[in-house]
Amino acid sequence: MDLYPKHDIVEIISSYTPLNKKGHYYWGCCPFHTDLKPSMSVNPTKGTFKCFACGANGDAITFLSKIHKKSRKEIFEMLKIQKELEES
């Protein structure tokens, strides 16, 4: 089940930190460390993010896992419940 397709990564991450589009990428301050200037890049084509300051990187599930401090399995379960609530 594809709960969060790759094209949604910008929407997901921008709900936690503001992103600005520059060229093909979106840039914002990384929420995983004290960031004074945008060091995190989000690639909507690949569905990935990368912070060039702290090295955090991955897909939307990895981002949610890190931000909520939960396992990928717990995140999938959380998203499954959220999707079921939206459909009812």
What domains can you pick out in the chain, each with its CATH number?
6-87 (3.90.580.10)
Determine the Cα–Cα distance for residues 63 and 88; give it in Å rounded to an integer.
27
Taking residues 30-55, report their average pLDDT: 96
Secondary structure in 3-state letters for the chain: CCCCCHHHHHHHHHCCCCCEEECCEEEECCCCCCCCCCCEEEECCCCEEEECCCCCEECHHHHHHHHHCCCHHHHHHHHHHHHHHHHC
Looking at the predicted structure, is the pLDDT value of residue 14 above 60?
A: yes
pLDDT at position 46, please? Answer: 93
